Amino acid sequence: MTRPRIRVAAYVIRHRAVPELLVFDHIGMPEAGTQVPAGGVKSGEGLEEAVLREVAEETGLLTATVVRQIAVEDKPHPDTGQPRRTGFLHLQAPADTANEWEHHVHDDGDDAGLTFACRFLSLPLKQPLADDQDAWLGRIDPRWTTATGHSQ
């Protein structure tokens, strides 16, 4: 049996008039869909360290803070079918974080050279995220369950 790839996913919430979730789209790759920051945990790295690194790498946001882990999901990769175990973490962003921005990834990882269009969406979301990444938002607040109604 193949060991699952250990990953993290970030629910970065900003509180304004309504709570908002940080998401991004790959510029030039609409088929990738709208996503939250997520990626692999490096050897020797803790989940909180990994999620803060992924948020910084994929969005450039350095002011998010970890609140708590809210779920662990065992689900195969949607394209390769390889096993994955993803820890979903709730993070908080300052209320004065920009509404939207573009971030060019400069590191040497899988996303190197990509540009992401980052923005905040009001909760609850009106549409599900790519790969059902929104499935656990209701664990933070039941009112944030996506309108399509996930069964988690």
The CATH number assigned to the domain holding 28 equals 3.90.79.10
Whether residue 148 is contained in a domain is answered as no
Structural tokens at position 46: 């803790």
Interval 81-112: pLDDT, tens: 999 999 999 999 999 999 999 999 887 777 77
Whether residue 108 is contained in a domain is answered as yes
Interval 35-70: pLDDT, tens: 999 999 999 999 999 999 999 999 999 999 999 999
Long-range contacts from 99-106, C-beta under 8 angstroms, 24+ separation = 101/60, 102/27, 103/24, 103/58, 103/59, 103/60, 105/57, 105/58
Whether residue 147 is contained in a domain is answered as no
- Its domain, for residue 28, covers 5-139
pTM over 0.85? The answer is yes
Whether residue 145 is contained in a domain is answered as no
**Number of domains forming the structure of the chain:** 1
